Amino acid sequence: MADDFQISNAQQLTLPMTCYLIGYVLGPVVFGPLSETYGRRPVMLSTFAGYTTFTMACALAPNFAALVVFRLLTGIFASAPTAVVGGLYADIFPSPKARGRSMAGFMAATTLGPTLGPVISGYLSVHGWRWTYWASLILAGATWPLLVFLPETYLLVLRQQASRKELAEGVTSSNNIAATEISAGPSARQLITRVLTRPLRMIYSESIVLFSCIYLSLIYSIFYLFFEAYPIVFQGVYGMTPGQSGLAFIPIAVGALLSFVVYLAYDNIFQRAQASGKAWTSVEEYRRLPLACLGGPLYTASVFMLAWTARRSVHWIVPMLAGLPFGIGFLLIFMALINYLTDAYGAFAASALAAASCTRSVSGALLPLAADPMYTSLGIQWATSLLAFLSAGMILIPFGFIWGGEHLRANSKFSQSLNLDKNGDK
């Protein structure tokens, strides 16, 4: 790419990834609330169509400026599942056990993409950088048959559809009249001032959302900074080729898969304790957050391990294996906090997850830009250690939720409105 577009500035070469992540800032804020207004299916289908279209545009980009714009648009449309899937699982899995396991599996699977991507692109790029986008397009095409059969899951939209069908058949009731009045959707003013601003309002009004966003943003941005740092370590210190240095991400992928095993093991422990009537299982925070309490120290220790073993005197396998606890810790934190947000906010989960996706994508887009100057001025050991110290400061957040989360949820206006809805249904 650098040769094709005659680019020599290292920071400029990070712009396609940065703009892709900026798309993850812009998209969820819109798509999460829209899925709570018009349903999950139309949002998922329309955004995946946009993703497919602009992935092809990236492969055919005539110049670097066009590529950067297309990557931004690809990121916007690709971001929809990060906001919508949590709400979708909340729709179809009323059981916290089934919902949690589904979300954990989803997060483990989505982590495989960015970790295995450098392995694939490292070797595909030998045949030209455009092949990395053609490969993505092929995978998107293979996904379409599955997505086409995705049913609508959002209860409000299903009620509206049923009511319209009854009215078309001449059946009139107070329920279908009310649902039909709602089905027109919010006005343009309501859409902007109430629906689309909901994720931002949750950040400043909900402490659970705010501190979850802070923690997730940091670990996510460090994860994406490693896409710049790993070549510095494994190509610069150990003289590997781009394809070989891409293999360094495999331990992170393995760690991500192992985190799912850890999640299932803890979930089984929780279910057995709950069946036995253990008092601690009545506290909702213990369902998810102990996993983040374990993942935080693992994550920080792994970053320190990378920092102080990445030197010529130490075999390359040692810093590479730091990716194993990194992947485990990274996913345990994500699984715990994302599931906790979904449990706490129910029907508003898509907006809560949109807030989390937006904030972490901002940091994930910006921090990698600092990788080259940071590693140049501080060196590998202290630049990576700085990241570890920052992550260490976040470790107490899930412990704080366990201590005070019940009080925070009791005083949350979003949680209170959900409780009113549930009581109204009864």
The pLDDT tens digits of the residues spanning 116-171 come to 777 777 677 667 788 889 988 998 999 999 899 988 888 888 888 787 777 777 66
pLDDT of 212 over the 50 cut: yes
Instruction: Answer yes or no: is pLDDT of 179 > 60.
Output: no
Residue 425: the pLDDT is 44
For residues 394-401, average pLDDT = 95
Residues in the chain: 426
Residues 6+ apart with CB under 8 A from 50: 73, 76, 77
Average pLDDT over residues 350-366: 82
Kind and range of the H or E run holding 373: helix 371-392
Which pLDDT score is estimated for 195?
A: 62
pLDDT computed for residue 185 by the predictor: 55
Give pLDDT, residue 193: 55
Max mean pLDDT among 104-118, 219-233, 316-330, 368-382 falls in 316-330
pLDDT band, very low/low/confident/very high, at 182 (cuts 50, 70, 90): very low
Phi, psi for residue 14 in degrees, rounded to 5: -85, -5
Average pLDDT over residues 40-51: 93
Q: Which domains does the chain have, with CATH numbers?
A: 2-160+198-425 (1.20.1250.20)
| pLDDT over threshold 70, residue 218 | yes
- Decide if 134 contacts 366 (C-beta within 8 A): no
Q: How confident is the model at residue 175 (pLDDT cuts 50, 70, 90)?
A: low
What pLDDT score was predicted for residue 188? 60
**Over the chain, what is the mean pLDDT?**
84
pLDDT at 388 over 50: yes
Does the pLDDT of residue 66 top 80, yes or no?
Answer: yes
CB 223 within 8 A of CB 294: no
Amino acid identity for residue 9 in this structure: N
Residue type, 300: T
Considering the entire predicted model, what is its pTM?
Answer: 0.76
Judged against a pLDDT cut of 70, whether residue 424 lies above it is answered with no
C-alpha–C-alpha distance, residues 251 and 235, integer Å = 17
Rounded distance, CA 44 to CA 51, Å?
A: 10
Tell me: pLDDT of 337 over 90.
Answer: yes
